[in-house]
């Protein structure tokens, strides 16, 4: 059983103004209960978006965090980190995770990625080619991603066709599929449907974000049949 009391203390308005999808902080709260993060660690928060996860990592674990994202600029995130009083421990970085990331080998003590890894890590090579060298052997890895309850092989079910394009849907896969991609890289490998799936989605759908408004119809059409959230945790082999 997970306990989400850490997420619950954050200002709901601040969170909903900065969500880019299902409640990122709640997802992070859940996956970080499956790995060990300690104060002296240097953490890569890959695909951090508006940096809600980086705020949480600093405030809840006191870790030094490198907040890397492509769609959100470093300046945008820096302003948010200042506002949240975490700027001394978070380094905002604008970078593309599919290009060589600007870090030294074995720089990181942990890797976190919430609602992002499916965009660039959804292939057999990514972890080995782009991430493995950056994180230390034995470093905790915790990833949360949207996925599907069964493998759809990129074929969009009729109910979801009005809402999703081929490119977006191709990033979504089931637990067995992600097991093939990631199990070989992680000791103590664990993968499961997330307990917070329903709440994380409803927190997002309740926001004023126009994309969330579109997603309301999508989730109604889905009716719990295809979409879920998946967590992957382990230690870098
Ligand atoms: C749906 S948003 C989620 C953001 C944030 N993690 C959250 O959960 O609120 C997906 C994020 O993945 C990031 N992303 C996608 N492709 C990326 C890439 N190649 N390199 C770095 N970040 C990427 C985007 O910049 C975007 O912020």
Q: What is the pLDDT of residues 151-193, one digit of tens each?
A: 999 999 999 999 999 999 999 999 999 999 999 999 999 999 9
Mean pLDDT of 192-203: 98
Residue with the smallest CA separation from ligand 1 atom 13 is 47
Residue 211 pLDDT level (bands cut at 50, 70, 90): very high
Q: Which of 50, 63, 52 is nearest to 29 (CA)?
A: 52
Give, for ligand 1, the residue of 118, 119, 203, 211 to mutate: max count of ligand atoms closer than 8 Å to Cβ: 119
Per-residue pLDDT for 229 more than 90?
A: yes
Taking the centre of ligand 1 as the mean of its atom positions, its distance from the CA of residue 120, in whole angstroms, is 9
Give, for ligand 1, the residue of 57, 116, 145, 170 to mutate: max count of ligand atoms closer than 8 Å to Cβ: 116
**Interatomic CA distance for residues 26 and 130, integer angstroms:** 27
Taking the centre of ligand 1 as the mean of its atom positions, its distance from the CA of residue 180, in whole angstroms, is 22
pLDDT at residue number 1: 86
Which CA distances in Å does 154 have to 52, 105, 200? 30, 34, 24
The string of pLDDT tens digits covering residues 59-77 is: 999 999 999 999 999 999 9
**Interatomic CA distance for residues 80 and 228, integer angstroms:** 29
Taking the centre of ligand 1 as the mean of its atom positions, its distance from the CA of residue 107, in whole angstroms, is 21
Residue 217 pLDDT level (bands cut at 50, 70, 90): very high
**Interatomic CA distance for residues 149 and 189, integer angstroms:** 19
Taking the centre of ligand 1 as the mean of its atom positions, its distance from the CA of residue 113, in whole angstroms, is 9
Element (H, E) at 179: helix 175-182
Residue with the smallest CA separation from ligand 1 atom 16 is 119
Mean pLDDT across the chain: 98
Residue 28 pLDDT level (bands cut at 50, 70, 90): very high
Q: Which atom of ligand 1 is nearest to the CA of 18?
A: 9
- Whether the CB-CB separation of 66 and 103 falls below 8 Å is answered with yes
DSSP 92-155: EEE--TTS--S--TT-BSEEEEES-HHHHS-SSSHIIIIIGGGB-TT-EEEEEEEEESS--TT-
**Interatomic CA distance for residues 204 and 202, integer angstroms:** 5
Taking the centre of ligand 1 as the mean of its atom positions, its distance from the CA of residue 99, in whole angstroms, is 14
Pocket of ligand 1 (CB under 6 A): 20-21, 24, 47-49, 52-53, 69-72, 96-98, 114-116, 119-120
- Whether the CB-CB separation of 114 and 47 falls below 8 Å is answered with yes
pLDDT at residue number 118: 98
pLDDT at residue number 153: 95
Q: Which of 236, 32, 31, 37 is nearest to 138 (CA)?
A: 236
Which CATH fold topology does 5-236 show? Rossmann fold (3.40.50)
Residue 9 pLDDT level (bands cut at 50, 70, 90): very high
Mean pLDDT of 109-133: 98
Mean pLDDT of 13-27: 98
Q: Which atom of ligand 1 is nearest to the CA of 115?
A: 8
Q: Where are the chain's structural domains? A: 5-236
């Amino acid at each position: 059983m997970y306990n989400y009391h850490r997420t619950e203390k954050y200002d709901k308005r601040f969170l909903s103004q900065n969500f880019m999808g299902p409640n990122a902080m709640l997802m992070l709260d859940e996956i970080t209960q499956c790995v060990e993060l300690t104060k002296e660690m240097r953490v890569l928060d890959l695909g951090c978006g508006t940096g809600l996860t980086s705020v949480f990592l600093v405030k809840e674990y006191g870790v030094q965090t490198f907040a890397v994202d492509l769609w959100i600029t470093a300046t945008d995130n820096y302003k948010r980190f200042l506002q949240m009083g975490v700027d001394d421990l978070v380094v905002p970085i604008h970078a593309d995770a599919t290009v060589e990331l600007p870090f030294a080998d074995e720089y990181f003590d942990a890797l976190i990625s919430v609602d992002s890894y499916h965009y660039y890590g959804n292939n057999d090579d990514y972890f080995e080619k782009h991430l493995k060298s950056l994180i230390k052997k034995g470093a905790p890895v915790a990833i949360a991603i949207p996925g599907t309850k069964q493998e759809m092989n990129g074929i969009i079910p009729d109910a979801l066709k009005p809402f999703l394009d081929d490119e977006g849907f191709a990033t979504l896969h089931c637990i067995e599929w992600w097991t093939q991609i990631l199990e070989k890289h992680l000791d103590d490998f664990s993968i499961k449907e997330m307990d917070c799936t329903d709440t994380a989605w409803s927190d997002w759908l309740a926001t004023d974000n126009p994309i969330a408004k579109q997603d309301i119809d999508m989730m109604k059409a889905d009716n719990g049949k295809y979409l879920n959230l998946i967590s992957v945790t382990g230690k870098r082999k």
